[in-house]
Each structure stands twice: as structure tokens, then as C-alpha cells.
């Protein structure tokens, strides 16, 4: 936590303590908001790390596709009968299409995983926050 955020937190604490709200403890409210902030920070960090992984993987897949294309073009210019070149092109298109679909699925799975991880962090915090609110407003027996 930075010096500025500590100062702001302390300033808000002092301000809120002047205005108590029907049994709600200001310290609990501030602690809850800090937990919210921490959860959003963690979710953002997970999303950033996951997107970095997605971008890196897409670059690897693009590099491999470029290598495959380059190899096929070299083979096409190395001579051979027109029928062989046509067969080579057909195989290349088929392989490229299949690899493209597989890559799309792989990247889609990475994105789905990233979204799920970040959403799970937020969902957990929302559930905890609601329980904290309920506990704060429920009369103690």
C-alpha cells in the first residue's frame, strides 16, 4: 500500500467516524472496502497475466504458420510436375485450415480460463461482502 493510499484511508476513517450509522462500525466498513479493492486488484492481475499468455501464444502460433507457409512456398518453387504442386497446395490448405481451427480453439480456451479465474475472484468477494453486510445489520442475540 502506498503512502498516499494510507493517508487517504486514514482521512476517510476520520471522516466516517464522525458520522456513525445505526450500529455499523466504520472500521468494519473500511476493512470491507479494502477487501473489495484487494479482490479487484487480484482479478486485474490474473486477467493481465492471462492476456499476456494469450498474446504470447498467438504470436507463437503465427510464427509457426509463417514457417509452414514459407516451407510450402519453397517446395512449390523446387520444381516438380504440376499435379504434384497442386497436390502440395491442397495438402497445405487442408493442414492450414485444420491448424487454424485447432489454434482458434486453443486460444478460445485460454481466454475462457482467464475470464473464469478473474470472475471467480470477484464472485467470491461479492459473496463474502454480502455475508459481511448481513452480519453487520443482523441484531446480535
Per-residue pLDDT, 60: 96
Per-residue pLDDT, 61: 94
Tell me which residue of 59, 64, 55, 57 sits closest to 95, measured CA to CA. Answer: 64
Per-residue pLDDT, 79: 76
Residues in the chain, pLDDT under 70: 1-24, 139-141
Structural element, H or E, at residue 24: none
* Collapsed DSSP state (helix, strand, coil) of residue 104: helix
Amino acid at each position: 500500500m502506498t503512502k498516499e493510499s494510507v493517508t487517504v484511508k486514514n482521512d476517510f476513517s476520520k471522516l466516517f467516524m464522525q458520522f456513525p450509522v445505526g450500529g455499523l462500525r466504520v472500521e468494519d466498513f473500511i476493512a470491507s472496502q479494502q477487501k473489495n479493492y484487494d479482490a479487484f486488484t487480484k482479478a486485474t492481475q490474473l486477467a493481465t497475466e492471462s492476456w499476456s499468455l494469450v498474446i504470447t501464444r498467438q504470436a507463437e502460433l503465427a510464427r509457426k504458420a509463417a514457417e509452414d507457409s514459407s516451407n510450402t512456398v519453397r517446395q512449390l518453387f523446387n520444381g516438380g510436375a504440376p499435379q504434384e504442386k497442386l497436390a502440395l497446395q491442397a495438402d497445405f490448405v487442408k493442414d492450414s485450415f485444420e491448424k487454424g481451427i485447432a489454434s482458434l480453439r486453443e486460444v478460445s480456451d485460454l481466454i475462457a480460463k482467464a475470464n473464469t479465474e478473474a470472475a471467480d475472484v470477484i464472485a467470491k468477494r461479492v459473496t463474502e461482502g454480502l455475508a459481511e453486510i448481513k452480519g453487520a445489520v443482523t441484531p446480535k442475540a
